[in-house]
Amino acid sequence: MYQKEKEFRLNRILMGSRVAEIDRKAISDGIDSKKLMKNAGTGVAKEIIYDYSDYGLKRSPRGVVISGGGNNGGDGFVAAGCLIEAGFDVKVFHVTLPEKFSSDSYYYYNKLIEKNPGLLEYLESADSEAFNDRLKKCDFIVDAIFGTGLHKNQVRRPALDIIDSINSSRMKNKNIRVYSVDIPSGVDSDNGKVLGSAVYADKTITFGCKKIGNINYPGASHNGSLKVLDIGIPSKYFEGYEKIFEPSLEWVSEKLPRRLPWTYKHRVGKLLVIAGSRGFTGAAAMTCMSAMRAGAGLVSLACPGDTNAIFEEKLTEVITYPMEQTDSVSLHYKSLDKIMDLAARNDAAVIGPGISREPETIRLVRELISSLEIPVLLDADGLQALTALNNVKDEQKTGHADLIITPHAGELSSIMGINKIPLEKRLEVNEDSSIKFRAVSVLKGAGTIISALLPGRKSGEIRSRDNGEVKNNVTSFINPTGNWGMASAGTGDILSGIIGSLLCQGMKPLEAAVCGTYIHGMAADIVSRKSSRTALIATDLLEGMKDVFLEIEKIKYAKEF
């Protein structure tokens, strides 16, 4: 499935540190390194020329190109030359002395200076009068200071001050557009960490594939829009590395089950939701409603007895089953046999939304995830059933073959028994989670990460990250949809219902998790465009899902439209 990602419309994502190795392999096979640099710089220039083709200026656009000494700087030199040939008014500053340039960068530096003597100037300090005067008068800035080779070490002066000057100019003059080459300078391309300070770009033009630093936060917030350009390195050179992907709407549409004209509710999936407690009926209700909206044929809810009347009122289309309850009105362990019998008549289960952390309830959850023979999604307070497993050495801890867990960062740190998870460590910790619990781990948040142990692989195949290596037994997806309007109570319950619905329709756990997350985020994007991100609440996503599935059906059932 993942070996031919282009065929399935998947976008590959790599650590930025892979770029140098990929370049070396391609060059050793006869691909001209100078041609690659020319293609990159020319591609950047074309993006800028296109953007200013209808900008409405009555004069030539004025630009500043700021180049470092590595290949990223060489891309900047090439871009500057192309822009000048197109009639743009460009000034080039380089923050490294020419004798320290990479060989290809030095080549294009000389070509540029031969044609345009006096155009280039060494920028020793951000206090340069010529630099600051030019920033005040420019329409755009090309950031080619650091590329994918910047890792771990904090940015130092004068580059630090130059980056701050770029950001300050952008803030003072809203008309200035900043273009970053490959990745905004100051962002670690391996993990998205900001190394002291980083350029805030309006557009980032990256090459070959997206880098983790382009899409993992906080680095992703520096991109602006992101464009991937093919500079002539065949796709085969990107294989054999970490298996990280970004799904597209076409891929999601292809993976969703196709429905036959004569299908009926029992055929398209039956989902059991085990959820709810006193004061938390909303979580269970939203999970059930989103499961219905995502196409489940039949949704049943196992809930504490005293909450049943509430659910009967809230959920018109859902069948409710009152169960034994604790004194605090949460599900009691005594309801185990009834829930097991009910589960046998369903195709998948969602456990956890609003379920509480009562000891008898968590005991019930722990027993269910080790005993149920249908796929299970575990969410919210239900995740606490995993905390007791932190000291268990056996890797097969949950006893469940088809388990999805959907924690946010706080929940994941709790069940993993670690401190707060930094943004740049989210991918690493989520991959660890997928191995530890032998589950599909969905770490919710900006750029939700979905990780899973590859079939047939064992946790012993982990390789250390300290040497720049990553786990070769895990595949991960980073979701491109969604926005900060989703930082609202209940959106996670909606997600659980969507993924649970796809599970009961017969999708494999990893595909269900990836597709469900994409649909969830896309629903929020659609709703936000119609109203706002600030005003978005969880139940708004139920309306957005209608539009998402309409777009999916246009692709999947194209001949019917």
Residues 195 and 307 in one domain: no
pLDDT tens digit string along 216-269? 999 999 999 999 998 888 888 888 788 899 999 999 999 999 988 888 788 889
State the alpha helices, DSSP H only, in 116-197: 129-137, 159-172
pLDDT tens profile 120-134 = 888 888 888 888 888
Asked if pLDDT for residue 56 goes beyond 70, the answer is no
In degrees and rounded to multiples of 5, residue 97 shows phi and psi of -70, 145
119: confidence class by pLDDT, cuts 50, 70, 90: confident
Of the candidates 433, 342, 454, the residue with the CA atom closest to the CA atom of residue 386: 433
In this structure, the number of other CB atoms found within 10 A of the CB of residue 481 comes to 21
- CATH code of the domain containing 200: 3.40.50.10260
Q: How far is residue 175's CA from residue 497's CA, in Å, rounded to a whole number?
A: 43
**Predicted pLDDT at 100:** 87
pLDDT at 468 exceeding the cut of 50: no
pLDDT at 470 over 60: no
508-515: average pLDDT: 96
- The range of the structural domain enclosing residue 230 comes to 11-246
Predicted confidence at residue 458, as pLDDT, reads 52
Spatial separation of the C-alpha atoms in residues 496 and 283, rounded to whole Å: 10
Does 4 score more than 80 pLDDT? Answer: no
Reading the block at residue 561, the tokens are 């439209």
Q: What is the pLDDT of residues 157-167, one digit of tens each?
A: 888 989 998 99
* Residues 144, 71 contacting (CB under 8 angstroms): no
Structure tokens at 374: 């249908």
Of 431, 502, 421, the C-alpha closest to 473 is 431
> Does residue 54 surpass a pLDDT of 80?
no
Question: What is the reported pLDDT for 419?
Answer: 87
Strand, helix or coil for residue 196: coil
* Shared domain check, 114 and 224: yes
Residues 301 and 204 in one domain: no
| 8 A C-beta contact, residue 268 and residue 296 | yes
Partners of residue 403 on adjacent β-strands: 376
Q: List the one residue out of 466, 469, 470, 433 whose CA is nearest residue 451.
A: 433
pLDDT in tens, 366-386: 999 989 999 999 999 999 999
Task: Give pLDDT, residue 515.
Answer: 97
Look up the CATH number of the domain holding residue 528.
3.40.1190.20
The answer to whether position 386 is within a domain reads no
pLDDT of residue 3: 43
**CA 522 – CA 520 distance, rounded (Å):** 6
Token readout for 111 is 């070509």
Max Cα distance, the chain (Å)? 85
102 shares a domain with 214: yes
Task: Read off the pLDDT of residues 371-430 as tens digits, 9 standing for 90 and up.
Answer: 999 999 999 999 999 986 554 444 445 556 699 999 999 999 999 988 889 988 899 999
**Domain annotation covers residue 463:** no
Closest CA to 518 of 510, 104, 508: 510
User: What value does the mean pLDDT take over residues 184-192?
Assistant: 92
Report CA-CA distances (Å) from 559 to 264, 395, 440, 556.
22, 47, 34, 9
Are 168 and 300 members of one domain? no
**Which two three-digit tokens encode residue 391?**
């000291």
* Confidence class for position 150, pLDDT limits 50, 70, 90: confident
Q: For the chain, give the mean pLDDT.
A: 88
Residue 559 lies in a domain: no
Q: Are 135 and 161 in contact (CB under 8 A)?
A: no
In a domain, 273, yes or no: yes
Q: Which two tokens stand for residue 175?
A: 């008309």
430 plus 533 within the same structural domain? yes
Are residue 401 and residue 281 in the same domain, yes or no? yes
Residue where one domain finishes, among candidates 211, 246, 281? 246
The answer on pLDDT for 78 being more than 90 is yes
* Percent of the chain's residues with pLDDT above 70: 92
Residue 543, class by beta-carbon neighbours within 10 Å (0-12 exposed, 13-18 middle, 19+ buried)?
middle
**Tokens 């009152």, residue?**
322
The pLDDT, as a whole number, for residue 400 is 60
Q: Which long-range contacts (CB under 8 A, 24 or more apart) does 279-283 make?
A: 280/353, 280/354, 280/355, 280/356, 281/307, 281/310, 281/311, 281/314, 281/354, 282/354, 282/490, 282/493, 283/353, 283/354, 283/380, 283/490, 283/493
At residue 129, the pLDDT reads 81
Query: Same domain for 361 and 506?
Result: yes
pLDDT band at 534 (very low <50, low <70, confident <90, very high): very high
Task: Count the Cβ atoms, other than its own, within 10 Å of residue 464.
Answer: 9
Q: Which of 155, 148, 159, 156 lies closest to 123, judged by CA? A: 159
Say what the alpha-carbon torsion angle 213, 214, 220, 224 is, to the nearest 10 degrees.
Answer: 150
Beta bridge partners, 518, equal none
Indicate the range of 32-41, 170-179, 451-460 predicted with least confidence.
Answer: 451-460
Distance CA 405, CA 443 (A): 8
Q: Within 13 Å of residue 36, how many CA atoms lie on the same side as its CB?
A: 22
Torsion of CA 516, 521, 523, 524, to 10 degrees: 150
Q: Is residue 3 included in any domain, yes or no?
A: no
- Whether residues 227 and 333 share a domain: the answer is no
Q: Is 462 contained in some domain?
A: no
Q: How many structural domains compose the chain? A: 2
Q: How far apart are CA 253 and CA 553, in angstroms?
A: 8
Q: Is residue 6 part of a domain?
A: no
Peptide bond into 247 cis (omega under 30): no
Q: Do 234 and 360 belong together in one domain?
A: no
Say if 473 falls within a structural domain.
yes
47 and 187, same domain (yes or no): yes
Is the domain of 147 the same as that of 296?
A: no
